[in-house]
Amino acid sequence: MKMHALVLGFLFGLLLFVGLNGLAQDNSGLPKGVGPISEVELAELDPALAEAGKASFEQYCTACHKIEERYIGPALLGVTERRSPEWIMNMIINPDVMIQEDDTAYELFAEFMTPMANQNMTEEQARSILEFFRSNDAE
């Protein structure tokens, strides 16, 4: 009987560990999209970079996007949890090709019936906007 309880305890602990570990998974297995960004190294949140990203977001993106609500485009709160950093940056830099060649980007286009405008952003601008999204999602 003790052995049975010990085995059950072990199995319960193993299931708990696996379940909690699954909750902590990152989004590195998510698609990276189509474009020049193949890998993004994320470190601790950079407040100065996030502030620059906020300025770029306000200048280029707010005509179609809001953080917390659907507008012409999707709400962006939680985007860093739903999409990989590479996908986000490729969508910012390369929206035309993404809509044509990436299934998720095409589905968003089909849902919102408006293609994302190509703002001719640099990788640096896209990275700063990604950092701004990360700062919003960390709150």
- Its pTM stands at 0.78
Q: Which has the minimum average pLDDT: 6-15, 22-31, 47-56, 90-99?
A: 6-15
Statement: residue 38 has pLDDT above 90: yes
- Cβ distance 35 to 90 under 8 Å? yes
| CA pair distance 25, 27, nearest whole angstrom | 7
Binned at pLDDT 50, 70 and 90, residue 139 comes out as: confident
Q: In the chain, what percentage of residues exceed pLDDT 70?
A: 80
Burial class, 122, CB count within 10 angstroms (exposed 0-12 / middle 13-18 / buried 19+)? exposed
Binned at pLDDT 50, 70 and 90, residue 105 comes out as: very high
* All domains of the chain in start order, with CATH: 29-138 (1.10.760.10)
- Average confidence (pLDDT) over 11-24: 41
- Average confidence (pLDDT) over 55-73: 96
- Cβ distance 101 to 55 under 8 Å? no
